[in-house]
């Protein structure tokens, strides 16, 4: 497949800000532009937004995980095996089917 070069003039600050966001998403600027163009073709218009939540932090994620672990400890479910978890799910689904 033949390729083409696309040049776009943008403000240096905009390029720096966008590049920083894309790096956090694990892609470079060229990849982001290709994704935009491919998705535009698929959607036949402006594609979906790719955003980072402003309040994301690893600390908050760890706090949430610790909270879930504490809840599991409190309810006696922290040490359940996969078989026990699957058995509970199956029992719940059977009860739900009966109720429907």
Please give the chain's pLDDT, 100 residues, in tens: 899 999 999 999 999 999 999 999 999 999 999 999 998 999 888 887 667 666 667 788 888 888 988 888 888 888 888 888 889 899 989 988 888 7
Q: How far, in Å, CA of 73 to CA of 95, rounded?
A: 25
DSSP 8-state symbol, 45: S
**Same domain for 39 and 6?**
yes
Please tell me the predicted confidence (pLDDT) of residue 22.
95
Please tell me the predicted confidence (pLDDT) of residue 4.
92
**Same domain for 38 and 72?**
no
Backbone phi, psi, residue 43, to 5°: -85, -15
**Same domain for 4 and 27?**
yes
Residue in 71, 29, 30, 36 with CA at minimum distance from that of residue 50: 36
1: domain range?
Answer: 1-52
Please tell me the predicted confidence (pLDDT) of residue 50.
65
Total-model pTM: 0.47
What is the token pair recorded at 71? 């809840």
CA 37 to chain centre: 21
Q: Are 19 and 29 in contact (CB under 8 A)?
A: yes
**Same domain for 67 and 48?**
no
Please tell me the predicted confidence (pLDDT) of residue 49.
66
Instruction: Give, rounded to a whole angstrom, the gap between the first and last alpha carbons of the chain.
Output: 55
């Amino acid at each position: 497949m033949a390729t083409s070069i696309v040049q776009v003039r943008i403000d240096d600050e905009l390029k720096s800000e966008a590049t920083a966001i894309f790096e956090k998403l694990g892609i470079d600027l060229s990849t982001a532009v290709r994704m935009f163009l491919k998705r535009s073709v698929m959607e036949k218009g402006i594609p979906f937004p790719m955003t980072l939540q402003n309040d994301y932090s690893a600390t908050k994620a760890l706090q949430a995980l610790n909270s879930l672990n504490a809840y599991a400890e409190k309810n006696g479910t922290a040490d359940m095996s996969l078989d026990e978890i699957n058995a509970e799910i199956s029992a719940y689904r059977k009860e739900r089917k009966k109720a429907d």
